[in-house]
A and B are shown apart, each in its own frame.
Chain A
Amino acid sequence: MMLACAGLEVGFPGRLLAKDLALEIRPGECWGILGMNGSGKTTVLHTLGGLRAPEGGGVKLGGRPIGGFAPREMARELGFLLQDEPGTFWGSLQEYVLLGRHPHAHSLFGWGADDLERAERALGAVDLAGLSQRPLATLSGGERQRARIALLLAQAPNVYLLDEPLQHLDLRHQLEAMEIFRGLALAGCAVAMVLHDTLWASRYCDHVLLLPGDGVALAGPTPELLTRGNLERLFRCELQEYGQGAQRHFLPGAPSRV
């Protein structure tokens, strides 16, 4: 299912973060969204996911306006990894991940065998299989982030919007998470994620959206847009370029105000 927007205006009264934004995030594609802190990455992602209304333009999911979906129908099609989850959850890790099955639930009491199996598989995929009965609140920050990814996998939507999915994760689990997201795209899902590390964008994203925060966003194939010049303008600092092709990445040099 394709997530598309045209003429999208995103921002707040008095400040436009993205104007006239046109995107088509197609099944099988993996998009990286990059920009400085406060440039509007989360706001754009929330607007694409229907969590906030745009200032102008519209978003369509599978050709239908995103506001026309019933809440549960929407949650079956589009899944969201939020940057923060401020709620208080008292239950176990397994009970938490099973909440991903809420949009699919048919029974008032308990979960079906399929739900339980999907939750177990999702926990295995994020390397948390042995901790399913542990209270969520007792897990470390990185384990909780993996639990959030597992919940999303149990939700099994067709479109994945991920806000900083690698936060709190160690290097190995960052790699495993990115492999999971690539696997989802290869399976025909559309994936878009906010990233800070240009290496992950080079390696795993076929498209990028660069948000400079002044309204003029750049969107297109990674090899064309993920260049030193674009990123220096984006992050307003000098960068050194390392590697080539899918290994190309950038690290800051001396700070400056470009």
Chain B
Amino acid sequence: MPRSFLLAALVLLALGSVFVSALFGSVEIPVGRVWGALAGSAAGVEGDIVWKLRLPRAAAAFACGALLAQAGALLQVLLRNPLADPYVLGISGGAAVGALGAMLAGAGAVAMGAGAGGGALAVVGIVFLLSFRAGDWNIYRLLLTGVVLAAGCGALVSLLLTLAPEAGVKGMLFWLMGDLSQAQAPLPAWIALAALSALGLAFAGSLNVLALGPLKARTLGVAVLPLQVGVYFTASLGTAAAVLLGGSIGFVGLLVPHALRLLGVTDHRWLLPMCALLGGGFLTLADTAARTLWAPQQLPVGVLTALMGVPLLLLLLPRGR
């Protein structure tokens, strides 16, 4: 499929996913009125539902999905490992420990966010400090350090779940599975998305060369170490922004880059923007399904991303080159 057609299709998917998210919910609003509300001509309750409830939620879902998909693509090249996803270096584990610790201490939403942010940033810093050697940053040491720290965080999460009072466990599990029902303020995630997208595009040409290995990349004029450090912090902070907003939403960061590669998009100058569109659109649709399929009960969106993602990837795999 020509890349320009695919790009146009993904733009339509992204816009369509936001429209679908505005259309469906516990209050039934006819298509025409949703359209009117989006155009600014519908006032009153329906306008409020669309503009104050559904669109902020869609914006949060889209930003999360776009961040996770781009971070996944970046880490797969940085770590030279197709199994890498945004959480492989322990960022979600650190955030989970911080958030669950705050929950267990009975803290409110703000303190929980601060706990998650602190945990995520602490892991980003610790992994970097333990693995980095100036002049020779062994990527396998980075990967192993991250995996070991993620395992440690996993054990702490289990401990916190065991110690938590029964009433609090469900909220913790929702957070761990990925949940956008509490995502009220997507603006920081959109700022992170803008920064990650811009930096990703700036890195993209060099990332294509880095895929040949760091030594070959050097012979082709890439300043490898600054690129690796830049990609690490860009992907890590992008992941942290997504985790702060929606918890540990799985599968998007692994599935989306591979789905696009299976469709023949391997050049990072195209892959990264397409990851943003497909990841954002996919998570927006999954979140719409999560809040409407079992209404009024909301499902954790992470469950839906896996349930939708597994068959999609299995469908695409036979097309792989």
A residues lining the B interface (CB < 8 Å): 49, 51, 71-76, 78-80, 82, 85-92, 95, 99-100, 102-103, 105, 108-110, 135, 137-138, 155
The answer for the CA separation of A135 and B321 in the assembled complex, in Å, is 7
Cα distance A78–B218 in the bound complex, in angstroms: 11
A85 touches B216 (CB 8 A): yes
A71:B211 contact, CB within 8 angstroms? no
Contact of B201 with A71 in the complex, beta carbons under 8 Å? no
On whether A75 and B216 interact (CB within 8 A), knowing A90-B266, A138-B321, the answer reads no
Assuming A71-B223, A79-B219, A90-B211, what are 4 further A-B pairs, CB within 8 angstroms?
A: A51-B215, A72-B221, A85-B213, A102-B209
Report if A82-B216 is in contact (Cβ < 8 Å); known contacts: A71-B223, A88-B211, A108-B205.
Answer: yes
B261 at the interface (CB under 8 A from A): yes
Task: Decide if B33 is an interface residue (CB 8 Å cutoff).
Answer: no
Q: Is residue B125 contacting chain A, with contact meaning CB distance below 8 A?
A: no
Q: Kindly list chain A residues whose C-beta atoms are within 8 Å of the C-beta of B82.
A: 88
> Which of chain A's residues has its CB closest to B82's CB?
A88
For chain B, the bracket of interface size reads: 20 to 34
Cross-chain contact A89 with B211 (CB below 8 angstroms): yes
> What chain A residues lie within 8 Å of B212 (beta carbons)?
85, 87, 89, 99
- How many angstroms between the C-alpha atoms of A80 and B209 in the bound complex? 14
Inter-subunit contact B267/A95 (CB<8 Å): yes
**CB 8 Å contact bits of B89-101 with A (1 = contact, 0 = none):** 0000000000000
- The closest CB in chain B to the CB of A46 belongs to B215
Q: How far apart are the CA atoms of A74 and B224 in the complex, in Å?
A: 14
Chain A residue nearest in CB terms to B219: A80
B109 within 8 A of partner (CB): no
Q: What's the nearest-Cβ distance from chain A to residue B225, in Å?
A: 11
A240→B163 CA distance, assembly (Å): 79
CB distance from B112 to the nearest CB of A (A): 39
Q: B208 at the A/B interface (Cβ < 8 Å)? A: yes
Q: Which of B201, B204, B206, B219 has the most CB of A within 10 A?
A: B219
Tell me which residues from 260 to 308 in chain B have a Cβ below 8 Å from any Cβ of chain A. Answer: 261, 266-267, 269
- Tell me if B221 and A102 are in contact (CB < 8 A): yes
Q: Does B220 contact A49, Cβ atoms closer than 8 Å?
A: no
Identify which of A74, A82, A86 contacts B221 (C-beta below 8 A).
A74
Instruction: Please tell me if the beta carbons of B321 and A102 are within 8 angstroms of each other in the complex.
Output: no
Considering the chains assembled together, what is the distance between the CA atoms of A43 and B242 in angstroms? Answer: 44
Closest partner residue, chain B, to A79 (CB atom)? B219
In the complex, which residues of chain B have a beta carbon less than 8 angstroms from the beta carbon of A71?
Answer: 218, 221-223
* Contact partners of A87 in chain B: CB under 8 A: 80, 210-213, 216
Interface centre among B82, B201, B321 (most CB of A within 10 A): B321
B 195-210 binary contact with A (CB < 8 Å = 1; else 0): 0000001001110111
Q: With A87-B80, A89-B211, A91-B266 in contact, do A102 and B222 touch (Cβ < 8 Å)?
A: yes
The answer on a CB contact under 8 Å between B267 and A91 is yes
Contact of A103 among B204, B213, B220 (CB under 8 A): B220
Check B205–A102 contact: CB distance below 8 A: yes
Taken together as a complex, chains A and B put the C-alpha atoms of A92 and B222 apart, in Å, by 21
Contact B80 A88 (CB under 8 A): yes
- Which residues B221-238 have CB closer than 8 A to chain A? 221-223
Complexed CA–CA distance, A75 and B224 (Å): 13
A80 to B214 Cα, complex, angstroms: 13
Closest chain B residue to A137, Cβ basis? B321
